[in-house]
Amino acid sequence: MSLSFRRTASVAAEGLRSVMAVPIRVGDDLRGAFYLSSGDSVRGFTPRDLALLEAVANQVGVALGRVDLVNELANRERICRELEIAREVQRGLLPKRLPGGDGYTLAAASLPALEVGGDFYDVLKLPDGRIGLFIGDVAGKGVPAALLMASLLSGFRAVAPAEPDPAEVLARLNDLLIAQRASSGVFASALYALFDPRSRVLTWSCAGHTPPLVHSAEIVCEGPVLGLAPAMTFNTGSRALDPGAVVAFYTDGLEDAKGPADAVAAREDLEARFAGLVPGSAEGIANALLASVETISAENVARYDDVTILVLSIQG
């Protein structure tokens, strides 16, 4: 017996004389079907019956589409609430005012991206008179990145006042991040620098972070990102800054503002813009660098990374 005959026999065994099937679609997406069968040997389904069933299927498809839209809007509202929570976390943890003193000035500026990122910075006036400058970027976006940023800032504020070595501070923060990576699975770049206003000596340690822009000096910034492996060690660099020196710490969103580009070319372009701003006040330089990013945004170039700038200017 052929397969087609067996199928026909099975339909006959069910006593079916007339069958209709109409798909239920939402756009191009097939969601289901209406299936009707009849064993009436006198009156079978007519084209009018089929048109009516198609009309019902269309109405069901429209209703399902509306349900999809409601669910999508609800999901967007949830995401917006989460992003607002993340922004509030960021705003609440960043310093409200920066310390100042004879011989130096500090300024900071930041610009949030379309999505909440993990940029952070902090400035502490330490018991020995030095100024701690901390900046970094957590990989990822949204609430998880904001919460991890909060954890790193809290850890920094707990460790830095009692630890004079920037490399050891980063090592302690790395251990903190490793302990949380099982649930978060993310990394962070960071740079921690100590500035002594009396000697004008800057001591720093890097964890996979972009080197700062420097006028009248050079800072080599090397080291693995935080959270890469347990018990990591970091290098420390140190140099005296001349009167008139300017150091601009920043997150990589400043280089990436123009979109995908060669990293070396992006850095060279940024160095040229920075050189054109010096000499100038710390606040003026920070705001000017940020304004260049805002200009790019006004040209409808989407930004998907935060931009944070922290400028130290040595009076001379």
Q: What's the full length of the chain, in residues?
A: 316
| Residues 86, 150: Cα–Cα separation, whole Å | 10
The confidence score (pLDDT) of residue 118 equals 77
The confidence score (pLDDT) of residue 5 equals 46
| Residues 108, 135: Cα–Cα separation, whole Å | 11
Alpha carbon 264 to chain centroid, angstroms: 23
Q: In CATH, what number does 98-314 get? A: 3.60.40.10
Q: What's 19's DSSP letter?
A: E
b/e sequence 247-261, b meaning 16+ C-beta within 10 Å: bbbbbbbbbbbbeee
- Strand, helix or coil at 193? strand
- Give the angle subtended at the CA of 184 by the CAs of 182 and 185, to the nearest 5°: 70
| Residues 269, 31: Cα–Cα separation, whole Å | 53
| Residues 179, 222: Cα–Cα separation, whole Å | 23
Backbone angles phi, psi at 95, to 5 degrees: -60, 140
Kindly list the averaged pLDDT for each block of 10 residues, start to end, along the chain of length 316: 51 68 90 83 80 90 89 82 71 79 88 72 93 91 77 92 95 89 72 95 95 84 89 93 92 72 75 84 90 62 72 87
Alpha carbon 210 to chain centroid, angstroms: 16
Domain ranges for the chain, please list them.
3-76, 98-314
Please say whether the beta carbons of 57 and 45 come within 8 A.
no
